[in-house]
Each structure stands twice: as structure tokens, then as C-alpha cells.
Amino acid sequence: MGAIWRFFSGEDDSCPAPERSAQRTSVWGFLTGQHAPKTFPQAASAYHEAGHARAARVGGAAVMGMEVHADGSGKTTWTWNPVWTWELSRATDEQKRRADLVVYVAGQESECQFLMDRHGYSYKEALRATHAGAGSDRRDFKRRAEGTGYTFEGMRGEVHGLVRRHAYTIETNAKPLDRHGRRGGTWA
């Protein structure tokens, strides 16, 4: 009973957004989920951008930096410089293009993983919740994949595995990005 009182009274400090604690003080707010997952756009964006950055590093790119904003928007910049990695200098144009396409898909997959692990979303719910936020990634993917036969949805399986394998690194880099809003690329 004490835990229930702490939750509804606002004494529980686990609420992700204390300014919205009034929503959870009513039973209706609790039952309708008004206090729940709608309060973390910057955290979700941090995982999204960290997913892009990790996929870029795995593919051999140099991550120049990342930023996230309170409204849930963000940006990751990376460059493919063959001087920095021996493997990339030997890669064909098709291999470089495929690595680039993986980076575009990894943002949404990483954000989906965050929603599933931290907020109890199903994969289907997470895809719906992140679809609009991945709009620019989809446009860039479509432009880059033109004439190749690759599709955003078709690469999900491969990228989902990559995000699962690198979940620890994505998380350890998303948390400081969420706190500070900006991060240089040297960590990746």
C-alpha cells in the first residue's frame, strides 16, 4: 500500500518528468496512461541517434557528432573516409552503399529497442510510435537506395540483429547524449 501511496502522491521520484506528476495523482491519469511513455522524446531521440552512430562505426565510418533536442528531434553526422580504415579503403561502392543504408535503418531500430526494453512496448507498437520520427531517414534511405532493390523494411532483420549485438554500447552513449543534448564523435 505504501508503494501505491508514493506513486499517486508524487513522492516516488521515478517519474521521468516531475512536471507531469499532477497527471499521475489522479486514478484516471494512471489508468489512461497520461503519465507514461509520452514524456521521454529526448531520451528516445538519444537512443535513435546513438543507433545511427554505432551502425556507422560498425560499418567503418567516422562519427563526427550527434545532437538531440527536447522536442525529440536530433541529428547524427558521419563521414566515410577510406584513409581512416583499411577495410573501408578496400570496400566496393556497393558495400559502402549498403553500410550507409544500414545506418539509416539503425536509428529507428535502436529507438524501438529502447521503447520495448524501457517502456514495455511490443515491437509493432514501437514501430508505429517511431514511424513519423524516422521520416527523414526513410527519405534519405530511398534516395540512396534508388535502383538497388533494397527497402527500408527489408533491411530491418539485419539491423535489428546489429542493434541487439551493440545494445550496451548504444545505451552507454545514449544516456550522456540525453543528459547533455550534444556529443562529439570520438567516443564511438
pLDDT, the chain, mean: 79
Distance CA 62, CA 76 (A): 11
Residue 142 has pLDDT above 80, yes or no: yes
Distance CA 14, CA 11 (A): 9
Model pLDDT for residues 146-155, shown as the tens digit of each residue: 988 999 999 9
15 vs 92, residue with greater confidence: 92
Q: What are phi and psi of 75, to 5 degrees?
A: -155, 140
Q: Which pLDDT does position 18 carry in this prediction?
A: 40
Domains of the chain, residue spans: 2-38, 40-187
Contact 130/122 with Cβ under 8 angstroms?
A: no
Quickly list DSSP for 3-47.
Answer: HHHHHHHT--TT-S-GGGHHHHTSHHHHHHTTTSGGG-HHHHHHH
Buried b (16+ CB within 10 A) or exposed e, 27-59: eebbeeeebbbebbbbbbbbbbbbbbbbbbbbb
Pick the CATH number of 40-187 from 1.20.58.760, 2.40.50.100, 1.25.10.10, 3.40.50.2300: 1.20.58.760
User: What amino acid is encoded at 65 in this protein?
Assistant: G
Of 47, 46, 41, the closest CA to residue 167 belongs to 47
User: What amino acid is encoded at 48 in this protein?
Assistant: H
Helices and strands per DSSP (H, E), number in the chain: 10, 3
162 vs 62, residue with greater confidence: 162
Beta bridge partners of 76: 66
User: What amino acid is encoded at 76 in this protein?
Assistant: T
pLDDT band per the 50, 70, 90 thresholds, residue 38: very low
Q: Which residues lie below 8 Å from residue 6, measured CB to CB, with a gap of 6+?
A: 12
Q: Please, how many CA atoms are within 13 Å of residue 120, restricted to the half-sphere of its CB?
A: 4
Distance CA 121, CA 126 (A): 6
**Percent with pLDDT over 70 in the chain:** 71
Buried b (16+ CB within 10 A) or exposed e, 116-128: eeebebeeeebbe
